[in-house]
Amino acid sequence: MKDFYRRVYEVAAGIPKGKVMTYGQIARLIGEPRSARIVGYAMKSIPEGMKIPAHRVVNRLGEMAPDHVFGSKELQREILLSEGVIFKENGWVDMEKSQYKTI
């Protein structure tokens, strides 16, 4: 597996329950600020057996992933809600309140 992926998974694995991170944020954290899209690809390609909370990674606006990823946006939203993530009226994550910020 590519080192890039490994580092993405390390960061993603550290997102606590009730919080979310963005693709771009993770990309910047591992020193690849221009590779936000690849972070999304890495999330989609998590190997069997690796316990990575991919549902806790959203885009910068707090939108759910496309339907085909988790079955439906509603499903992902249910999971995050059950973990305590705060949502806005439009159905997106309230990034002000629920984004996991690391120094």
Does 87 engage in binding with DNA (CB under 7 A)? no
DSSP 9-68: HHHHHTPPTT-BEEHHHHHHHTT-TT-HHHHHHHHHTPPTT----GGGEE-TT-PPPPHH
Where does residue 20 fall: left (phi above 0), alpha (psi -120 to 50 degrees), or beta otherwise? beta
77: Cβ–Cβ under 8 A, 6 or more apart, which residues?
64, 87, 91
Does 97 engage in binding with DNA (CB under 7 A)? no
Does 90 engage in binding with DNA (CB under 7 A)? yes
Among 8, 11, 15, 57, binds DNA (CB under 7 A): 57
Rounded to the nearest whole angstrom, what is the least distance from the CB of residue 51 to DNA in the complex? 13
Does 59 engage in binding with DNA (CB under 7 A)? yes
Does 37 engage in binding with DNA (CB under 7 A)? yes
Residues near DNA (CB under 7 A) are 2, 4-5, 22-25, 27, 32, 34-41, 43-44, 46, 54-55, 57-61, 65-66, 68-69, 90, 92
